[in-house]
Amino acid sequence: MRPGLPRAAGPEVFGERASAINSLRDKWLNGTELAYYFYDQPSDGQTVMLADGSSRFVSWAGAAEQKQAVRKAFDAWAKLGLGLRFREVPTREQATVRIGFMAGDGSWSYVGRALLDIAADERTMNIGWDVTQDLDTAIHEIGHTLGFNHEHQNPFSGIVWDEEKVYAALAAPPNNWSRQKTHFNILRKLDDTTVEGTTWDPESVMHYPFGPGLILQPEKFRAEPLQPPGGLSAHDIAQVRKIYPGQPPVNELGELVLAESRRLQIAAGQQIDLRLKPQRTRNYQLATFGEADTLLALFEEVGGDLKFRAGDDDSGEDRNAQLKLRLQRGRTYVLRARLYYAAAAAETAVMWW
C-alpha cells in the first residue's frame, strides 16, 4: 500500500460526519469502470542506484504468465457481481490502473481514488515477485485499488507488535522495506473513522500473514503464525458487495426531470443513479441542495459504455456539489450521486436546469 495525497477537511468536520466521509472518501463511485494496463515497452522502467554507487535500469514490464495471474486476480473480484467493471486496455493513456512488475520494489498499490492523483506515466500498482503461484498477492493489491486498507492495521484488531522483530522481518527479501515503510504498512493503526464497523477479520485477503513471535497480543500468535487461509474471506465479500452492489442497466434507471428537484432518499454511504435526457443542446447546471456531504459525477452513454464527463466532491466543505457543462440533445447521461453524510434524513435534493 502506498500513501496518496492527504485530503484534509476543516476543523468543523468531526464525529459522525468525519467518520462517514473518511470511510468512503477513497472508494470509487459504484458503476465505475476501472481500465487497467500492463507496462510492456522496453523503455518502461527506472534507473536505480546500487550500493556501490553505480546504477542500472530496472524494467517495469512483466512476463506473460505474470500478467495472466493478475488477470485472474481481477476475475476473482469481478465474479462477485460487483457494480464496478474491470477492462484491460492497450495503452497507458486509457488506463486508470497502471501495473508494473519491477523486481526488488515490493508489491504495492495506491488506495482507491488516490490513483487519480498519480501522474499518467507512473505506476499505480507494482507486483514485485512471482505471483503465478501466489494469486493472493495480486488479489490483495487490487483490493487496495478498490479502496480497501490493510486489515492488520484495523484499530479494533487488538494486535500488539514486537516492533523490532517486525522491522527486521520486513527489511529482508522479498520486501526489502525501510523502517518508515514498515511503520506505514504494518505498525501504524488506521484512524478509526476510516474503517467500517468494529470487527477484525484475520482471514481477510487484506491481512498480511505473520510468522510466530512478531505479534505479542493476541497471545496465541507468540507461538504460532497468523496465516489467513487464502482467497477472499466471507467478510471481504460482504464488504465489497455492500460498497459496490450490482448495477441495473441504464435503461432501467429512474429519470431526473429537467428543472425538478428530487430528494435523495438514500442513507449515508449509499448512491443513486439517475438518467438525464436533454431536449436541447446548451449549457446546463447540476447541483445538490441541503446540508450534506455529497459526490456528484456525470457520465455519457456511448456505445453501451458510460464515459466520465465531470465530477465534484463537496465532502468536508461548506458548499454543495455543482457541475456546469454543455450537454447534447438526443444523448443519454447518467448522474451519480453518493451521499456521505446528511445533517437530516431526506433533506438533500438534486436538480438540473
Which three-class secondary structure state does DSSP give residue 122?
coil
Handedness of CA 187, 191, 192, 196 (dihedral sign): negative
Q: Do domains 15-243 and 250-352 have the same CATH topology?
A: no
Strand ranges across the sheet with 97-100? 85-88, 33-38, 97-100, 125-126, 108-109
Interatomic CA distance for residues 216 and 222, integer angstroms:
5
What are 120-155's pLDDT values in tens digits? 999 999 999 999 999 999 999 999 999 999 999 999
196: left (phi over 0), alpha (psi -120 to 50) or beta: beta
pLDDT of 5 = 43
Interatomic CA distance for residues 302 and 300, integer angstroms:
6
Residue with cell 431526473: 256
The H-assigned helical ranges of 1-78 are 15-24, 64-78
Per-residue pLDDT tens digits of the chain, which is 353 residues long: 665 544 444 555 545 556 555 667 789 999 999 999 999 999 999 999 888 889 999 999 999 999 999 999 999 999 999 999 999 999 999 999 999 999 988 899 999 999 999 999 999 999 999 999 999 999 999 999 999 999 999 998 999 999 999 999 999 987 788 999 999 999 999 887 677 666 899 999 999 999 999 999 999 999 999 999 999 999 999 999 999 999 888 888 999 999 999 998 888 888 999 999 999 999 999 999 998 899 999 999 998 888 899 999 998 888 999 999 999 999 999 999 999 888 765 678 999 99
pTM confidence score: 0.86
19: left (phi over 0), alpha (psi -120 to 50) or beta: alpha
Are the C-beta atoms of 247 and 83 separated by less than 8 Å?
yes
Q: Residue 282 — φ and ψ, nearest 5°? A: -170, 180
What residue segments make up the domains of the chain, in order of their start?
A: 15-243, 250-352
Interatomic CA distance for residues 193 and 185, integer angstroms:
18
pLDDT of 129 = 94
Pairing label, strands 292-302, 262-263:
unpaired
Which three-class secondary structure state does DSSP give residue 114?
helix
Q: Which CATH architecture is the domain 15-243 placed in?
A: 3-Layer(aba) Sandwich (3.40)
Residue range 250-352 in CATH 2.60.120.1050:
yes
pLDDT of 6 = 45
The CA-based angle 123-127-133, given to 5 degrees, is 160
**Residue 191 DSSP label:** P
Q: Residue 59 — φ and ψ, nearest 5°? A: -75, 150
